[in-house]
Amino acid sequence: MKKTKLERLHNQLLLFTINRPDVRNAIDYQVMEGFKEAIHTVKQDSSIKGLIITGSGMEAFCSGGDLSVFHGLHTEEEAYSMLSKMGDILFELMTLNRPTFALMNGVAVGGGCEIATACDFRIAKESTKFGFIQGKLGITTGWGGGTMLLEKIPFDRACKMLYSANVIPSETGVELGFINQVFDEGEFQEEGIKWIEELLNNSSSDVLASYKAMSVRKWLSSNLKSRMNEEIKQCSILWEGEEHHHAVNAFLARKKN
């Protein structure tokens, strides 16, 4: 089974799906390549109005990095190699020249929450829970998500999410300004896509690109890329630490039982 899917919808939208429901749509290197393909497609096709990112099934948007793959990374250098690869992808996603949407069909934790943060809008299913749980694993956000979050919502709200490492319900996400729209379980994807269509309906892809460029110019002028990279470096240092490896071993042991 292919780990990602890329579909051109009839309404000038591109839908990218992480297709690993058996592991809660966790990210591995093949999924990273799928993200690159989606971003490249948008950049090359000027008729596309927006990129939608979602997960397969109705349980998880994305559970972050696949620990069964990445737990083999022990040193700071090994961790940085992986983290910076996905960090580069999320920088490209955040600064993409078209509107981007996280269609959060289920749990979005750890790196999954970083992916959602990189998008311009976050649309959640009513039962969706999300959170930057990295602190419970002895590390910080490692794909640039903390830096991006501080660009998206007020400082105190962002810090509350990052410091607590809690999993948060979608209705609280609306109060924090992180979630833009919530829909019921039943027709979640259809309603979410309809909401996106209505938002973009009156503007051409060129107009949308011009508006997005206003934010991108601000982010580039404030050295977003280098700030994300400093975050990634710090996470790499913590990754090498005993606290992180102990926490991940305990997590994997619980999954086996």
The amino acid at residue 24 is R
In a domain, 22, yes or no: yes
In a domain, 215, yes or no: no
In a domain, 50, yes or no: yes
In a domain, 56, yes or no: yes
In a domain, 254, yes or no: no
Q: What is the pLDDT of residue 68?
A: 85
Q: What is the pLDDT of residue 257?
A: 63
With a cut of 70, say whether residue 21 has pLDDT above it: yes
Domains of the chain: total = 1
Residue 15 bridge partners (DSSP): 7, 52
The mean pLDDT of 93-101, rounded to a whole number, is 98
**What CATH number corresponds to the domain at position 173?**
3.90.226.10
Phi, psi at residue 48, to the nearest 5°? -75, 130
Q: What is the pLDDT of residue 247?
A: 85
With a cut of 80, say whether residue 205 has pLDDT above it: yes
In a domain, 250, yes or no: no
The fraction of the chain above a pLDDT of 90, given in percent, is: 89
Each residue of 156-182: pLDDT tens digit?
999 999 999 999 999 999 999 999 999
With a cut of 90, say whether residue 215 has pLDDT above it: yes
From CA 52, how far away is CA 61, in angstroms rounded? Answer: 12
In a domain, 210, yes or no: no
Phi, psi at residue 24, to the nearest 5°? 55, 40
Comparing 110-114, 125-129, 250-254, the range with the smallest average pLDDT is 250-254
Domain that holds residue 21: 4-200
**pLDDT band per the 50, 70, 90 thresholds, residue 138:** very high
**pLDDT band per the 50, 70, 90 thresholds, residue 252:** confident
In a domain, 231, yes or no: no
